[in-house]
Amino acid sequence: MDGMHDLGGRQGFGAVRYRPDARAFHEAWEVRVNSLYAFAVRRGIFNMDEYRHAIERMEPRHYLTASYYERSLTSLATLLVEKGILTREELERRAQGLFPLAAPSAPGRSNVPARERFQPGDRVRVRDDYVPGHVRMPGYIRGKTGVVVSESPAYPFPDAHAHALAAQDEPTYDVRFRSEDLWPQSADAALVHVGVFQSYLERAT
């Protein structure tokens, strides 16, 4: 889905609020949320792709205004309800207030049937795919051409894995793009490397 989470290259944001001694957690509940979702993953209640997708399904205004760990909490609660472990009513009764959850999921998809194996140095194009469910192709590379640098071990295909669909594991390719190709005349010069699943790629002609 072309969701609010897909931020790479979006404009209008200000300076990074950077401090060399910045912390991962600021409040005790943040550590607890992090541990609770890790616990659920460890117990096999949901996988990391389902977890990421439930964050992406948050209503965009909620997504943008929630803190990082509130997004984590919303994903955890959404999946526990969707998996039938808890109900929203119980959560709201216990919390004594509303407990906003993410929106329902749209269908996922399995691997693209015609996938090609690539070698380092091959020129590849990111397919012009628009999918309603989970996808790990950042929008800024859609339709763009880059060069394969290396291949990673096969991973579960996220577009299926986030939706509990059967799919084959497939390799991801480290694809190198030039920032000038991604945002012509509108980017600082750099090489941008993206881990791209095989299903998202076709050979560039």
Partner 1 sequence: MPDQNPVIQRTAPVERRVDAIQQALDERGMNATDAVEELTELAEEHWIPQNGARVVARAWVDPEFRRRLLANGRAAVAELGLSMPKHHRHLVVLENTPAVQNVICCTQCSCTAFTIIGLPPDWYKDLEYRARVVRESRTVLKEMGLDLAPDVEIRVWDTTADTRYMVLPEQPPETIGWSEEKLAGIVTRDSMIGVARL
Contacting partner 1 within 147-176 (CB under 8 A): 150, 152-153, 155, 158, 172, 174
Told to check if 82 binds partner 1 by CB under 8 A, we report no
Stretch that binds partner 1, among 104-112, 117-125, 182-190 (CB under 8 A): 182-190
Site for partner 1 in 100-129 (CB under 8 A): 100
Stretch that binds partner 1, among 108-116, 122-130, 134-142 (CB under 8 A): 134-142
- C-alpha torsion angle, residues 4, 5, 8, 14 (rounded to 10): 80
- What span, in angstroms and rounded, lies between the C-alpha atoms of 23 and 31? 12
According to CB under 8 A, which one of 83, 89, 94, 120 is a site residue for partner 1?
94
Closest approach, Cβ 167 to partner 1, in A, equals: 14
CA angle 203, 177, 180 (to 5 degrees): 125
According to CB under 8 A, which one of 147, 197, 199, 201 is a site residue for partner 1?
197
User: Which residues, in sequence order, are CB contacts of 43 under 8 Å at separation 6+?
Assistant: none
Count the residues of the shown chain that bind partner 1, applying the rule CB under 8 A: 83
5 to 24: interface string for partner 1, x by CB under 8 A = xxxxxxx-xxxxxxxx-xxx
Told to check if 44 binds partner 1 by CB under 8 A, we report no
Closest approach, Cβ 126 to partner 1, in A, equals: 11
91, 77 contact by CB (below 8 A): yes
Q: How far apart are the first and last CA of the chain?
A: 27
Strands 123-126 and 172-178: unpaired
Report the candidate in 201, 199, 134 with the shortest Cα–Cα distance to residue 168: 199
